[in-house]
Structure 1
Amino acid sequence: MRALLGVIVDIILLRRGPEHVPASPALLAVVIAVYAAAVAITASLFGPSEQRWAIELVVAITATLVFYQLALTFAKKRERFTQTMTAIFAVRAIFTPLLIPMMGALLAAMKGGQPAPSMLALLLLAGMIWNFVIDVRIVRTAFEWPTPGAVMMVIAQQLVMLAIFIMLVGTPPTPPA
């Protein structure tokens, strides 16, 4: 377990890639469960009350798994699915509990008519950008593609996830002015 955490930290610091994660379906299931628990706890404690975090969580997990399963199959790299997903969900399990409270605080400040704290907004932006960079690095390594292709793949996955969420739930309610 300690060795796995070291690998995940190295992935976050861009020193290693998903190929260093054990290819274990059981480990992938555990990592997804840890990610789901982390999101559930932080979203229920720090997320906006009207946020549909449970539906968002199910859509995020399912869409990510299906999207990359199809993409890796089409790229003829299906054997890399387990390691790639383990790396992506392990990174999300670490980043999401850090980002949700920041986003909740920013949304609460905006709802209250107060200006959003700029340092908090910058930290949230930096965390989201770093998470994106890590996802691109994982995808680039898994698919053996150049960086622009990996960037497009990660953006496509996010857009597919957003489209699925909108189709299932509709657009989120607009906050009152």
Structure 2
Amino acid sequence: MFSLLQLFWRLHWPICQLQRGPQDLPAAPALLRFAMLACFLSGVLVFTLSVSVADAMLRTGFSLAISLLIWPLLLHAAGQQARLLQTLTAVLGCAAILNFLLWPLSWLIRSLGDRAGLLPLLLIALLLWSVTVSGHILRHALDWPLPRALALAVLLFALRYGLYQLIFA
């Protein structure tokens, strides 16, 4: 299992660092399933800091469903359906990695409360990094210039956030 996690990290971390793109991942359905599982588990882990496990599973499932709906629609609209497997694998795998980075930071901020100081700024930096990674993946998946892809990533974040607030507020 440890070697599988190492492989997962080695494949996705360079994408999180903006050094590689989704096209550098193998087009493997098993890797996509693993990325989906990792994304789901990491999302539940983060949400359980503030809600029950059942609610965390519901919220993470919603987030995953949004990704599984929006990304195929985007690729279909751009005529890039052939890139779907690698793109979804990259999106979900990178989300899992960023969630695993988010979890200890969120836990620390919650634990420290008013004494967290400037740590919440790291949350903002992680959020910006996440949107940048999405833009980077969009750039490669859609063959768009980076500014356009980043603008779409911001729009997708706002859409996801708005839907999330509408349903779970």
The answer, yes or no, to whether TM exceeds 0.5 is yes
User: Between the two proteins, what is the percent identity of the paired residues?
Assistant: 24
Question: Counterpart of 2:50 in 1: which secondary structure?
Answer: coil
Return the alpha-carbon distance in structure 2 between the equivalents of residues 147 and 167 of structure 1.
30
Contact 1:22 1:83 in 2 (8 A): yes
The partner residue of 1:48 within 9, 26, 50 is: 50
Give unmatched runs, 5+ long, in structure 1.
172-177
Q: Which has the larger radius of gyration?
A: 1
What is the match of residue 88 of structure 1? 91
Q: Which residue of 2 aligns with 1:8?
A: 12
Contact 2:44 2:57 in 1 (8 A): yes
- Of Structure 1 and Structure 2, the greater helix share is in 2
Please provide the CA RMSD for this pair: 2.3
Q: Say whether the 8 Å CA contact 1:4–1:21 is kept in structure 2.
A: no
Write the distance in 2 (CA, Å) between the matches of 1:5 and 1:107: 27
1:58 counterpart = 2:61 = yes
Cα offsets for 1:14-43 (capped at 9, x unmatched): 221100111122321111101211222343
1: CA distance between counterparts of 2:89 and 2:15?
11
Separation of aligned partners in 1, 2:15 and 2:122 = 20
Segments of structure 2 that go 5 or more residues without pairing to the other structure are none
Aligned twin of 1:149: 148
TM-score normalised per structure 2: 0.83
Residues 59 and 161, structure 1, Cα contact 8 Å, conserved in 2:
no
State the TM-score, normalized to the length of structure 1.
0.80
Paired residues in the alignment total 164
> In the superposition, relative to structure 1, how do residues 162 and 79 fare at CA in structure 2: closer, same or farther (>3 Å)?
same
State how far apart, in whole Å, the 2-side matches of 1:133 and 1:49 are.
27
Select the residue among 24, 32, 47 that pairs with 1:28: 32
Query: Is the Cα contact below 8 Å between 1:64 and 1:157 reproduced in 2?
Result: no
Deviation at 1:89, TM superposition (A): 1.0
Q: Amino acid of the residue matched to residue 74 of structure 1?
A: A
